[in-house]
Amino acid sequence: MSHSLSPLGIGHTLISLIPLAAGLYSFARHRGIDRNTRSGKTYLAGLTLSVLTSFGLSSTGGINAGHVLGVLALLAACAGVFIHRMPILARLHPYLSAFLFSFSFFLLGVPGIGETLRRLPPAHPLASNLQSPILLGTLASWFALFVLGTALQAGWIWSRRKTRA
């Protein structure tokens, strides 16, 4: 069943495209989200705005799983920004930062995938509920992509560090 979007829902959806686009660009251009690049800064700002605007939206009338995932994504991104301040983990900083930013991107995708598949196409959405096989399969594929992408990033970081040594 298709649900119409409120003006806030439309605004949130448009704002949510910012971290999606910036994150995809960062992965393609820099092999990960880097807080020091323009696309990384755009990702972080878009992520923050996306999570903040989500709190005005709720089909259940209160806090829902999408809100929790948004807060977790924000916490992961914040940890990715500040992980370099922990000297005890100095050798792991690049790996942990890459993982945390990738994890935040993954978490943002989960409610986005769910909402998209339950709303599009408008006349006959692909998924009828949260237990729909197409939704569960898409989320499983999204998780596999996250695991593969994180492993590739670790390999790239390791090879770049090995080359510099």
Where do the domains of the chain lie?
7-164
Res 1: pLDDT: 43
Compute the Cα dihedral for 126, 132, 137, 138 and give only its sign: positive
Residue pLDDT, tens place only, 25-61: 999 999 999 999 999 999 999 999 999 998 887 666 6
In whole angstroms, give the CA distance from residue 95 to residue 120.
36
Q: What is the pLDDT of residue 165?
A: 64
Summarised one tens digit per residue, pLDDT across range 67-80 is: 899 999 999 999 99
Lookup: tokens for 68: 């929790």
The per-residue pLDDT for 45 is: 97
pTM of the model: 0.91
pLDDT at 5: 78
What pLDDT, on the 0 to 100 scale, is given for residue 95?
A: 96
